[in-house]
Amino acid sequence: MIAIAGVSKTYGTGMQAIPALQDIHLAIAPGEFVCLLGPSGCGKSSLLNIVAGFVKADAGQVLLDGKAVTKPGPDRGMVFQEYALFPWMTVEENVAFGLEIRGARPQDITPRVGSLLRSLGLAEFRKRYPKDLSGGLRQRVAIARIMALNPPVMLMDEPFGALDALTRRTLQDEMLRIWDASRKSVLFVTHSIEEALYLGTRVVVMTFRPGRIKRDIHIELPRPRNTSGRAFNELKREIEVLVMDEQARYSEAERLGRPG
């Protein structure tokens, strides 16, 4: 259980202060797939980094199963948009790295890594280096590396944002397959309304700075979800109105040169 209680965050001081988050309250139950959605500057990534323990909140706290989050930990796995792979390591070495750091035995690491590489379609690339892989394959490696550690919570910061549409949908389906099999709690940041609706059990729409929760929508569409279906697109239009209203505030702030 993730409990975000009254979290606020401001960057800078005085006239340069930029309020990123204000009084965020959000509870994520075990096994939920929650997508954070909103315009640039709404604090989505800041909130994710606070949950990860990379950034400290100015007020409020994050609890994981009742324990305060004060730093990064093995109970939370983070997948970044930039892949964050070690370029000098092969695919299988990247995936095995976290297990080795934890002190796992080689006889336990080898089958675990092999199983993940097969399930994510990476077995034939196990001896390749990241520079030899496409963006989609690199992101599969990044996901495999986190899955190897088997954290109960996965935090994902626009992991498919830089990919082409076809690769993006393929990895979305792969992510759903992994989530359905493991039922980990997922907190997923995205700019895409369609992606949030396709993946999430809930879509949390955030306001422009300071980021607050505007709407928390439970998505009850059956899976697999038909992105061209009537129910999907009616909900997409409803959320689009919420997001575009905040996007307009962002554009106005940019025009006036105001931080928030």
Taking CA atoms, 152 is separated from 65, 74, 75, 80, 213, in Å, by 11, 9, 6, 17, 24
Q: What is the DSSP letter of 143?
A: H
Return the SS3 of 155. strand
Give the pLDDT confidence of 99-124 residue by residue, as tens digits. 998 888 888 999 999 999 998 889 99
What count of other Cβ atoms lies within 10 Å of the Cβ of residue 112? 17
Query: Tokens 């950034």 label which residue?
Result: 55
Measured over the CA atoms of residue 52, residue 58, residue 64 and residue 70, the dihedral's sign is positive
CA distance 254 to 256: 5
249 in Cβ contact with 206 (< 8 Å): no
Closest CA to 122 of 139, 99, 106: 139
Return the SS3 of 84. coil
52 in Cβ contact with 76 (< 8 Å): yes
pLDDT at 40: 81
CA distance 33 to 154: 9
Q: Where are the domains of the chain?
A: 2-75+151-256
Residue 153, C-beta contacts closer than 8 angstroms, at least 6 positions apart: 2, 51, 64, 75, 76, 77, 184, 185, 186, 187
pLDDT at 248: 82
One digit per residue, pLDDT tens: the chain, 260 residues? 899 999 999 998 877 888 999 999 999 999 999 999 988 888 999 999 999 999 999 999 999 999 999 999 989 999 987 778 899 999 999 999 989 988 888 889 999 999 999 988 899 999 999 999 998 899 899 999 998 988 999 999 998 887 888 888 988 998 999 899 888 999 999 999 999 999 999 999 999 889 999 999 999 999 999 999 999 999 999 999 999 988 887 777 766 766 55
Cis amide bond preceding 87, omega within 30 = no
pLDDT at 259: 54
Query: What type of residue sits at position 232?
Result: F
CATH of 2-75+151-256, one of 3.50.4.10, 3.50.50.60, 3.40.50.300, 1.10.10.10: 3.40.50.300
